[in-house]
Structure 1
Amino acid sequence: MFGGVYQVQGTIFAIPNFDSMVDAQLIGGALQGFGCDKDVLIDVITQRNSAQRIMITESYGSLYGRNLIEVLKENLDGHFKEVIVGLMYPPPAFDAHELWHAMKGAGTDENCLIDILASRTTSDIFQLKEVYLMQYGCNLDQDIYSETSGHFRDALLNLAQGVREEGYADPGMAAQDAMVLWEACQRRTGEHKNMMQMILCNKSYQQLWMVFQEFQNLSGQDIATAIEECFDGYFQQLLLAIVFCVRDRPTYFAYRLHTAIHDFGFHNKTVIRTIVARSEIDLFTIRQRYKEQYGKSLHHEIKHYASGHYEKALLAICANNGQDF
């Protein structure tokens, strides 16, 4: 068994005895009149999985003749709106939404590009690219090309191709791949950087796990330490993100949450993106890793830095089907 295979668990699951029409009516009632009943929105939307929320959206449309996401956008504001609307997007559409906003407007949110493209499966990437094209009428590769540069851009474009081998491993190639990575760290030319990113972006997680072990045997150095010493900027951060995701995705996202909370003064976009996107995949495991790594619970951090219905919504997502943590 390689290091990327471990038991992971989300915090949101399908509820039994689900009735999308009843939920649509509850949400419709919560949105009527002046203001809205945010507690009802939290109780319903944070406690249904994505497939059920899609059905609620369809039922809402048939009942009220309007798109639920657009109605929520009109009636909510601030970070609470970002959380609730984010949950209403199917996962590929949420990723596409985040990537689009990371590259449009003033500046580029490189960390968002790294978080998504370094951690998603080949299937995830194909789906989000299809949605990106349909939703925004733009090609993701072209936007990455125009909004980033250098070897960072090359690596992002490689990941966006969605050509990572999955489930394939060749022990005989591991030592050879490790030698290529070692030479790239030593020589650091453009050609060697290209060779490094080709291995890290294209090889399967199983293969990379063996390559990292061979790299340690060859150099006496951990691959992450070598990357930190030999490269810099967003290219370095992207390579490290891939390494950390190969080893343990929940630990990577626990690190990203801790950085967002403590290094950037509760960077809301990163916190929301991570909690919403990972809620049905591995958020429960991320919570565990966070407590193990940093000595405080994610619950404590959210209570300390967020407030109001925004705090309540984040806590509801992080809880296990309504169970406090």
Structure 2
Amino acid sequence: IFCSQYMSWTRNYGVQGTIFPAPNFNPVADAQMLAGALQGFGCDKDTLVAVLTQRSTAQRLTIAEAYQSVLGRDLIGDLREKLSDHFKDVMVGLMYPPPSYDAHELWHAMKGAGTEENCLIDILASRTNGEIFQMREAYYLRKEMHIRGTREEGYTDPAMAAQDAMVLWEACQQKTGEHKTMLQMILCNKSYQQLWLVFQEFQNISGQDIVDAINECYDGYFQELLVAIVLCVRDKPAYFAYRLYSAIHDFGFHNKTVIRILIARSEIDLMTIRKRYKERYGKSLFHDIKNFASGHYEKALLAICAGDAEDY
């Protein structure tokens, strides 16, 4: 029954992005427009926003090829040279294919003395097997990384769900290293459909929601990772709406998080994230971006979010 509820949710609340392939696409004309916008000491930022935020990732990559072919220059290199601050981060970020962008963000999150754990959690807790495989290949170009992508897909077993729920319950009670490993293996390897069953069985066995149990029994980034996995299983757009709200309101507009989520989800489920954001927090994502960002950086973020602009 719970699995059928999951499938019903995926049908009734289908996810939708905000950026789609532009009609009548002409990569050479776009490359020439971008070249003109990047000429001289200044640059035409409005043109950059108009072109790069209104093309799909595949189209942007074709534009970069045309830019190199016609002008003999690297578009990403020119964007890095001519732009600055967070506006540069947005424009450059848009030029990466999704696996490379994820790999780029992971690499930057882990380089240097500290590690930006929330970036790792956002990416690794939410990506599918296919996305992780492609990300891993992209990351190998920078540095070796051990991410397997072993989650089962489309598999359900009610009897096994009851067993797994009991293991999770024991893991929350015992909290030994072995139990933590078992908990992590179940949450990271079982299919989303199977985990819906497991969470329901966990509720039946313990009388407690699994998120509450994890929060009570564990702490730190391990706890945050486990909760992120559960929230992504239940409603991935709602998870990213929560992460955006936290980045905007709890951290004084954490630019890296906002940029990363908007770019990464723009062709997947950003429109649905917008809807969840407004449903849960009462104000539109547009409203909150306007309150904390400014200038062409604000314009770029709003353009990525826009879609049909129903709550602009």
Q: TM-score, normalised by structure 1?
A: 0.92
Once residues 200 and 240 of structure 2 are traced to their aligned partners in structure 1, the CA distance between those partners, rounded to angstroms, is 23
Once residues 212 and 323 of structure 1 are traced to their aligned partners in structure 2, the CA distance between those partners, rounded to angstroms, is 35
Aligned to 1:12, the other structure's residue is in SS state coil
The structure 2 residue matched to 1:19, chosen from 7, 14, 26, is 26
The structure 2 residue matched to 1:216, chosen from 196, 199, 203, is 203
Aligned to 1:57, the other structure's residue is in SS state helix
Confirm or deny: 8 A CA contact 1:79 1:310 kept in the other structure. yes
The structure 1 residue matched to 2:62, chosen from 45, 55, 59, is 55
Seen in structure 2, the aligned counterparts of structure 1 residues 11 and 69 have a Cα distance that, compared at 3 Å, is same
Moved over 2 A (4+): 1-6, 321-325
Identity %: 70
Alignment of 1:228-247 (within 5 A): 228-247=215-234
- Indicate the residue corresponding to 2:145 in structure 1: 140
Once residues 104 and 302 of structure 1 are traced to their aligned partners in structure 2, the CA distance between those partners, rounded to angstroms, is 28
Paired amino acid for 2:277:
Y
- Indicate the residue corresponding to 2:127 in structure 1: 120
Once residues 190 and 26 of structure 2 are traced to their aligned partners in structure 1, the CA distance between those partners, rounded to angstroms, is 43
Q: TM-score, normalised by structure 2?
A: 0.96
Aligned residues: 305
The structure 2 residue matched to 1:197, chosen from 167, 181, 184, is 184
Confirm or deny: 8 A CA contact 1:47 1:321 kept in the other structure. no
1:133-180 deviation per Cα after TM superposition (whole angstroms, max 9, x unaligned): 12x1x1112xxxxxxxxxxxxxxxxxx210000111111211000000
Once residues 62 and 26 of structure 1 are traced to their aligned partners in structure 2, the CA distance between those partners, rounded to angstroms, is 14
Instruction: After superposing the two structures, state which structure 1 stretch, 167-176 or 36-45, moved more.
Output: 167-176
Paired amino acid for 2:25:
F
Structure 1 residue 40 and structure 2 residue 47: aligned? yes
Q: What's the RMSD between the two structures over aligned residues?
A: 1.1
Alignment of 1:67-82 (within 5 A): 67-82=74-89
1:220-264 deviation per Cα after TM superposition (whole angstroms, max 9, x unaligned): 000001000010000000000000000000000000001111110
Aligned to 1:88, the other structure's residue is in SS state coil
Once residues 56 and 46 of structure 1 are traced to their aligned partners in structure 2, the CA distance between those partners, rounded to angstroms, is 13
Once residues 213 and 14 of structure 1 are traced to their aligned partners in structure 2, the CA distance between those partners, rounded to angstroms, is 40
Once residues 5 and 130 of structure 2 are traced to their aligned partners in structure 1, the CA distance between those partners, rounded to angstroms, is 21
Structure 1 residue 225 and structure 2 residue 212: aligned? yes
- Indicate the residue corresponding to 2:242 in structure 1: 255
Confirm or deny: 8 A CA contact 2:284 2:311 kept in the other structure. no
Aligned to 1:72, the other structure's residue is in SS state helix
Paired amino acid for 1:204:
S
Structure 1 residue 166 and structure 2 residue 153: aligned? yes
* TM-superposed deviation, 1:185: 0.5
* TM-superposed deviation, 1:2: 4.0
Aligned to 2:283, the other structure's residue is in SS state coil
Query: Where in structure 2 are there 5+ consecutive unaligned residues?
Result: none
Once residues 245 and 285 of structure 2 are traced to their aligned partners in structure 1, the CA distance between those partners, rounded to angstroms, is 9
Once residues 36 and 321 of structure 1 are traced to their aligned partners in structure 2, the CA distance between those partners, rounded to angstroms, is 28
Seen in structure 2, the aligned counterparts of structure 1 residues 210 and 187 have a Cα distance that, compared at 3 Å, is same
1:291-323 deviation per Cα after TM superposition (whole angstroms, max 9, x unaligned): 111111100000000000000000000001677
Seen in structure 2, the aligned counterparts of structure 1 residues 295 and 323 have a Cα distance that, compared at 3 Å, is closer
Seen in structure 2, the aligned counterparts of structure 1 residues 274 and 123 have a Cα distance that, compared at 3 Å, is same
Structure 1 residue 185 and structure 2 residue 172: aligned? yes
